[in-house]
Structure 1
Amino acid sequence: MTLSAARPRAQVPPPARASVFRDPNGADPALMTRRAWWLVVLHVLVPGSAQALAGNRRLGRFALGVWLLGLIAVLLAAGLFFVLPQVPLSIPSNAVGLTVVQGVVLAWAVLWIVLTLNTLRLVRLPAVRPGSRIGVAAVLVVALVVGTGGAVQAAVTAGQARDALGSLFSGTRVALPAGGRYNILLLGGDAGPGRSGLRPDSISVVSVNAVTGHMVMFGLPRDLRNMPFAAGSPMLKAYPHGYGWHDTCNVDVCELNSIYTEVQLKSPQLYPNAKADHTLPGIEATKEAVEGSLGIPIQYSVLVDMGAFGKLIDAMGGVTIDVKQRLPIGGGVDANGNPTGVKVWIEKGVQHMNGNRAMWYARSRHGIGNSDYARMARQRELETAMLHQMNPVTLLTRLEAIGKAGSAAVTTDIPQGLLGDLAGAAVKSRGQKTITIEFVPPRVTPSSPDYASIRKTVATTLAKAG
């Protein structure tokens, strides 16, 4: 016997059987049923994993990469929202960002359809137990409808948001914050009986720290006189000593809220660029008077038509107000100024109000101690509450209604490019208390105000607020 004959022959192991997920041939119905449910669950939870495990690996890897990038983007945006909210909010607050979002979700809808139909093929329904076939197919159909429908709805919402933002925030002037703050003029106006056009009843400036979101509100009475216009104002030539000095003006009442009416109706040519800047001549003139009075630059303005503001409040889902004084809804007053014939009251305490009730709260003229100054303060309180309660979830879920109501109620020159910064500041401000300074009696005598003292108060308040 030779040496080679005594040596045992090497055994070659049989080829390993492929995974049942990728090669289920010959598997019994019970195993195929479990396999089908696994693929369905994986498809729903981690899109692309079913293809990577049991089908086209290239398609699966591509889908997994897209899903992973999307998940990272969402987590990153969520993290940034608590640190720098203006960064994630800048995407859904401008036309370019919304167009990108619309394109991305539509592309995902197409990919989801492809993955779901491919998963339906991979589960091999004929090999699944008869009692489970309907369930497997039903889950995939529901996943297809919900996933595709959700993506399409998101694309429609993005389009509606783009249109709403375009109609409301169409300003083109971009101004940098002054001293780290954006100063925005807020005008609440009514076109009341006997008036020629709209006249602002509520005039205030909200100063927002561009980084921290801290807000300071300065309220000015509508009957303020002798307002000095800012340097460079076209109105400065006509009123070098202040508007209403020695009762000099071009309308019947020479007060702060008359500036809007005078310029809007009688001298709009002083502001030829107002229309191009998406504002109004009356607003520009009022802005320059407030700048001169407070001693701070004002970058933007918002005019709210109080007659339509109630619809905007309803579109936002209402507003929560801490009522300090019992106020009547309707009714009249007797010879002593006491309310009569009142059937419904706005009681003291924290209340969530709809648009109609909020308007009564802001405009009610009756009640003990309910002066014009108190009413102006309530209007500013309502404006502040709306700013604090505005949040991305509300905006996104009620966007179409807000856009329609906002177009009728609001005129502003704030550009879309600034919305992300302002929205981020508003989010940060929600946990902070707004400082409010009312330049009304006894702090200020509207008929003969000390503007040097007013400017000093403004400068000191802003310096302390940071």
Structure 2
Amino acid sequence: MSARTSIRHPDLGSAPIMTKRAWWLVVLNFVLPGSAQVLAGNRRLGRFGLGMTLTLLALAVVVGVVYTLWPAVALTVFTNSIGLWAAALLLAFSGVVWLILSLDTLRLVRLVRATPKARPIIAGLATVLMVGVVGTAGYGAYVATTASGFLSSVFVAGPTEPPSDGRYNILLLGGDAGPDREGLRPDSISVVSIDAETGQASMIGLPRNLEDVPFSAGPLADLYPEGYGSIDGCEVSACMLNSIYTEVEVKSPEMYPDAVDSGSEPGIEGMRDAAQGVTGLTIQYYVLIDMQGFSDLVDALGGVDINVAERLPIGGDENLDEVEGWIEAGPQQMDGYTATWYARSRHSTSDYDRIVRQRQLQEAILQQFSPANVLTKFQGIAEAGSQVIKTDVPQSMLGYFADLGSKTKTLPVGHVDLTPPAVDPEDPDYEQIRALITEALAAASAPAEPAS
């Protein structure tokens, strides 16, 4: 008697044969959905299940090959709404078919014919496998639809920008609205310059108290031809780099009438013109992180590991009165609240120390942003990210930047800090600043010398 015959037409009176048959059907349904029906049940349903299974396997192979050879293409497909919704529908459909096949397999098993001791084990295994497979498909569909909504809410559908001199330059702003401030004022300002081919990144920290800031061509350059506030002052109390956002956004938003339609804000466009004027770089995109919601993002990631160089106060004033607590020196796993104060704490240290800490925090989060913690904590990350992050990076560029970012994580990050003694924020030499940046970026992009 053939195996196929014994599975389709078994000896119903033999408990050992029915037990062995039950194990085979349960395992076959898990390994190759549809095969159990082909061998022992409705062949039409089985052929449909096998066709779906083989199609999914073929798609997985194709995706794997494309990701291996052209990772940016695969990432582009799965970072746009159409691709994510297609994946969600496919996973949801597959989950429903797997559920039907699993329930039908349980029917075909005929547990009452198996040995009494084996029945609960077979039923338990079949149930666990069914819940695992169907639940995984359902969760995958949920992640895909949630990701589509998150990406659509954060990233714009605008045109892509080409690299400038082989690099993408992104303005990073850490915004702190604060109850005692008129509008938002960026407390953290930096430019990340990324080699468009190698992914090598350099972070340029811009002190928020830079004075006489020059602007690239635009309305602010026309209004302040000798630098921000250098002739007749400005429209806000302090004519420093981080005041430009407030002046434009609150006082003169008409300077940039197309900003909102482009996925930006007038204040951000003013900061972009200032950063371009300071660095001499073309800045294609910006990312604004709301520091008031930043702690939610860190908590969603499960915290961040930081090696604290010196003890820092949480809260308090310049006399360290009414301090709420302390961040102790040494290795720390910080929650969102602590990480936010690590970035913001200003008493007992200088603004330039804050720049270093903020950069350290940014790098730590980027390094700890892995597929594993993103998938396991996806809902919290998506909810926090949509409230915390604002950017004009187009959704069509996400695949490219994700691929580039995977290269960046394997390389050391260069740093250009425009702080004393190299730069005097009260009397900066902007030609010298641009020369420092040009030299640092050229050195970072130069091929490594072969070992002697």
TM-score with structure 2 setting the length: 0.89
Cα distance, 1:394–1:179 mapped onto 2, change above 3 Å: farther
Q: What are the residue-to-residue correspondences of 1:315-326 with 2, within 5 Å? A: 315-326=300-311
Q: Summarize deviations over 1:1-57 as a string: whole Å, max 9, x none.
A: xxxxxxxxxxxxxx9896312332567232122111111112123323323433455
Cα distance, 1:78–1:355 mapped onto 2, change above 3 Å: farther
Q: Secondary structure at the match of 1:444?
A: coil
Cα distance, 1:228–1:24 mapped onto 2, change above 3 Å: same
Equivalent residue for 1:283, pick from 257, 268, 275: 268
The question of whether the paired residues in 1 share the 8 Å contact of 2:79 and 2:399 is answered with yes
Cα distance, 1:26–1:143 mapped onto 2, change above 3 Å: closer
Cα distance, 1:218–1:26 mapped onto 2, change above 3 Å: closer
Q: What are the residue-to-residue correspondences of 1:424-443 with 2, within 5 Å? A: 424-443=403-422
Query: Is 1:304 the equivalent of 2:286?
Result: no
Q: What are the residue-to-residue correspondences of 1:132-281 with 2, within 5 Å? A: 132-231=118-217, 233-281=218-266
Give the whole-Å Cα distance in 2 for the aligned partners of 1:392 and 1:451: 41
Cα distance, 1:195–1:136 mapped onto 2, change above 3 Å: closer
Aligned partner of 1:241: which letter? E
Give the whole-Å Cα distance in 1 for the aligned partners of 2:392 and 2:53: 39
- What's 1:5 paired with? none
- What's 1:423 paired with? 402
The question of whether the paired residues in 2 share the 8 Å contact of 1:203 and 1:219 is answered with yes
TM-score with structure 1 setting the length: 0.87
Give the whole-Å Cα distance in 2 for the aligned partners of 1:380 and 1:25: 72
Aligned partner of 2:440: which letter? T
Q: Summarize deviations over 1:177-220 as a string: whole Å, max 9, x none.
A: 22332211011122235421111111100112333332110011
Q: Summarize deviations over 1:356-391 as a string: whole Å, max 9, x none.
A: 111121111222xx1112113322322232223222
The question of whether the paired residues in 2 share the 8 Å contact of 1:171 and 1:412 is answered with no
Aligned partner of 2:253: which letter? P
The question of whether the paired residues in 1 share the 8 Å contact of 2:34 and 2:45 is answered with yes
- What's 2:36 paired with? 50
Aligned partner of 1:182: which letter? Y
- What's 2:84 paired with? 98
The offset of 1:426, in angstroms, is 2.6
Query: Is 1:377 the equivalent of 2:344?
Result: no
Q: Secondary structure at the match of 2:396?
A: helix
Cα distance, 1:340–1:241 mapped onto 2, change above 3 Å: closer
Aligned partner of 1:361: which letter? Y
Aligned partner of 2:312: which letter? L
Give the whole-Å Cα distance in 2 for the aligned partners of 1:18 and 1:420: 48
Q: 267-276 vs 383-392, which deviates more?
A: 383-392
The question of whether the paired residues in 2 share the 8 Å contact of 1:388 and 1:429 is answered with no
Aligned partner of 1:405: which letter? A
- What's 1:11 paired with? none
The question of whether the paired residues in 1 share the 8 Å contact of 2:295 and 2:336 is answered with yes
The question of whether the paired residues in 1 share the 8 Å contact of 2:174 and 2:187 is answered with yes
Give the whole-Å Cα distance in 2 for the aligned partners of 1:460 and 1:396: 40
Query: Is 1:409 the equivalent of 2:407?
Result: no
Q: Secondary structure at the match of 2:5?
A: coil
- What's 2:327 paired with? 346
Q: What are the residue-to-residue correspondences of 1:438-449 with 2, within 5 Å? A: 438-449=417-428
Give the whole-Å Cα distance in 2 for the aligned partners of 1:246 and 1:89: 50
- What's 1:12 paired with? none
Cα distance, 1:293–1:17 mapped onto 2, change above 3 Å: closer
Aligned partner of 1:168: which letter? V
Give the whole-Å Cα distance in 2 for the aligned partners of 1:291 and 1:333: 33
Give the whole-Å Cα distance in 1 for the aligned partners of 2:136 and 2:245: 47
Give the whole-Å Cα distance in 2 for the aligned partners of 1:362 and 1:392: 25
The question of whether the paired residues in 1 share the 8 Å contact of 2:11 and 2:17 is answered with no
Aligned partner of 1:113: which letter? L
Give the whole-Å Cα distance in 2 for the aligned partners of 1:142 and 1:440: 59
Q: Secondary structure at the match of 1:321?
A: strand
Cα distance, 1:17–1:141 mapped onto 2, change above 3 Å: closer
- What's 1:4 paired with? none
Give the whole-Å Cα distance in 1 for the aligned partners of 2:4 and 2:366: 62
The offset of 1:294, in angstroms, is 0.9
The offset of 1:59, in angstroms, is 4.5
The question of whether the paired residues in 1 share the 8 Å contact of 2:157 and 2:396 is answered with no
The question of whether the paired residues in 2 share the 8 Å contact of 1:264 and 1:282 is answered with yes
The offset of 1:322, in angstroms, is 2.3
Give the whole-Å Cα distance in 1 for the aligned partners of 2:135 and 2:241: 53
Give the whole-Å Cα distance in 2 for the aligned partners of 1:372 and 1:116: 62
Aligned partner of 2:255: which letter? L
How many residues in Structure 1 have an aligned counterpart in Structure 2?
A: 445
Query: Is 1:365 the equivalent of 2:365?
Result: no
